[in-house]
Amino acid sequence: MKYVVKWHPKERPEHVVTCDGDYPNPSQAMDFACAVLANHPIDVWVESVSRGDKIADAARIREHCRTRGLYPQSN
């Protein structure tokens, strides 16, 4: 299964941005989502490409970032 990161940017809250490309596992997608958090989006999440299911919400992504030592450490 493949995964993408989606988010609502702070400057355009009604807009949904999707990362360019996909990731082979949720952990790699969440690593990318950690970088997205640096821009302080309104929301960020990971979805499966094939089903559109939300795999990880912002809280789970933040925990992943803390556990892996990736940015942001506190957010």
Tell me the domain boundaries of the chain.
3-68
Neighbours of 47 (CB within 10 A): 20
Task: Tell me the pLDDT tens digit for each residue of 9-33.
Answer: 999 989 999 999 999 999 999 999 9
pLDDT at 75: 43
pLDDT at 73: 47
pTM, to two decimals: 0.90
